[in-house]
């Protein structure tokens, strides 16, 4: 939830399709995978969609990228500018953050595909009437 809020905050700072598209893709994937996991848990086969390495990589890339993007735009009322304080060049920090966001979007698509592929047989299985 915290990552989703940070994503939405960042889209308000960068309201362009170039930035909004990866955020929208990541948020849609998060909702779909969360729903899939919940549904699989109800069917008693949650282990089919356990967290994979690509999903963990996606999270690491996404959090690092968003942290860098948030670092570039501190609050105007803040007394310190961390980029300036650390001697970082803001355009470079922004591009690295954006690159990581795009890499995390790719990882989100791959891991989402993996989760749904792993759950495919359970998704199409017929339920026995009760």
- List the one residue out of 9, 101, 3, 111 whose CA is nearest residue 61: 101
Q: CB of 70 within 8 A of CB of 10?
A: yes
- List the one residue out of 2, 37, 51 whose CA is nearest residue 119: 37
- The pLDDT value given to residue 71: 85
- The pLDDT value given to residue 22: 95
- The pLDDT value given to residue 129: 52
pLDDT tens digits for the chain (130 residues)?
A: 788 888 898 898 888 999 999 999 999 999 999 999 888 888 888 777 888 899 899 999 999 999 898 888 766 666 677 777 788 888 899 999 999 999 999 999 999 999 998 888 877 766 555 5
- The pLDDT value given to residue 26: 94
Identify how many contiguous H helices and E strands the chain contains and give both numbers: 6, 0
- The pLDDT value given to residue 79: 67
pTM of the model: 0.83
């Amino acid at each position: 939830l915290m990552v989703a809020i940070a994503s939405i905050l960042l889209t308000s700072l960068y309201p362009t399709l170039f930035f909004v598209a990866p955020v929208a893709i990541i948020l849609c994937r998060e909702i779909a995978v969360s729903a899939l996991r919940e549904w699989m848990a109800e069917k008693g086969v949650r282990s089919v969609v356990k967290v994979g390495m690509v999903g963990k990589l996606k999270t690491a890339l996404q959090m690092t990228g968003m942290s860098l993007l948030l670092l570039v735009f501190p609050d105007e009322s803040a007394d310190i500018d961390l980029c300036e304080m650390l001697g970082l060049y803001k355009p470079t920090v922004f591009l690295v953050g954006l690159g990581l966001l795009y890499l995390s979007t790719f990882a989100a698509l791959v891991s989402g595909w993996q989760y749904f592929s792993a759950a495919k047989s359970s998704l199409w299985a017929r339920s026995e009437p009760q």
